[in-house]
Amino acid sequence: MPNILLTRIDNRLIHGQVGMTWTNHLGANLIVVANDQVATDEVQQNLMDMAVAEPIETRYFTLQETIDKIHYAAEDQLIFLVVKTPQDVLRLVAGQVPIKKVNIGNMHFSEGKKQISSTVSVDDEDVRAFHRLHELGVKLEIRRVPDEKSLDILKFI
């Protein structure tokens, strides 16, 4: 069983809050980014790696690679899993990735989305994905940084 400490939805993927603040708070030693585009984009990977302090390691996998490889994680790998969307989380859960808790950190506003907190905006597809994740027993919280109070997203959607 992979040791996934937390899964975070953040459409920026790795940046200072993820690479330093959250990783230190969780005690993670590995950040796994599950994203189809970034998995093949070395420039983006290199930029994101600059936000991660040694000795934290990073891996960039497609969603399917994450599903296929996560169960081979070593026992001493303390994993912080980062994705862009709730649909990505739903796909991982459907693929048997053992995700118990999701931190919703950043979902940018765009046309067709409704802002529900200072950093989270959702559309109907996002809402459906969050409700399905809840039905599957996944705990869902909005929290930008570790020292903020956790908010239950279901109270806002």
- Are residues 52 and 59 in contact, defined by beta-carbon separation less than 8 angstroms? no
Q: Of these residues, 15, 71, 108, 131, which one is catalytic? A: 15
Nearest to 65 by CA among 42, 30, 25, 38: 38
- Angstrom distance (rounded) from CA 109 to CA 89: 19
Look-up: residue for tokens 């020292």?
147
Give 111's contacts (C-beta < 8 A, 6+ positions apart): none
Task: Give the burial class of 73: count Cβ atoms within 10 A of its Cβ; 0-12 exposed, 13-18 middle, 19 or more buried.
Answer: middle
Q: How far is CA 23 from the centre of its chain?
A: 12
Is residue 15 part of the annotated active site? The answer reads yes
Q: Which residues are annotated as catalytic?
A: 15
